[in-house]
Structure 1
Amino acid sequence: MRLDDLAGRLDAAGDELASASTTMALADPGSRALGGDAPGGPGELGRALHRTLTTALTARAREASAHGIRLAETAEALRLAAQGYRTADQDARRHHQRQEDA
């Protein structure tokens, strides 16, 4: 696998994470699904569980977004490294060719 290919795969994974971060809130079933609409103690517990779930989903969405950004940055660094290798190879070929021509 070439560095450019790996960079493309990292970009695709980063895009997936970014997409997941924006749709994470869709996983929230609402407090009613956790009994938040019940009276008394069970309702309080359901609402507390829902707050915990919402907090966790928000945190995971932020993490997914941050990791997506890191993957995109890594992909760009790989592309720069690949270009550097290509440039070094071209320079070495030109240098070698000049020595053969001399």
Structure 2
Amino acid sequence: MNMIIPTATLATPNGTTRPQVRIVIVGHVDHGKSTLVGRLLHETGSLPEGKLEMLKAVSARRGMPFEWSFLLDALQTERDQGITIDTTQISFRTRS
């Protein structure tokens, strides 16, 4: 997996600035890119309210184990085949 991390500054609502980091994650098929980003979204508290619970319930109804990649793989075909078909850009914030 290769990551390119250029930095910039971003103004916050209270007028202070903080570094903005753009991360690009690329890699071969089935090397965990979506799983990594799904877990990062969870760990940073960046998921919409109820999203994790909804996906866990859908997985249980379909009789399949939940995977962190499901947070990014929105198309049912992606979940069925265990692959990412579409690309995405996601923003998340950290506390610091």
- The answer to whether TM tops 0.5 is no
More strand by share: 2
Which is richer in helix? 1
Higher relative contact order (Cα pairs below 8 Å, separated by 6+ residues)? 1
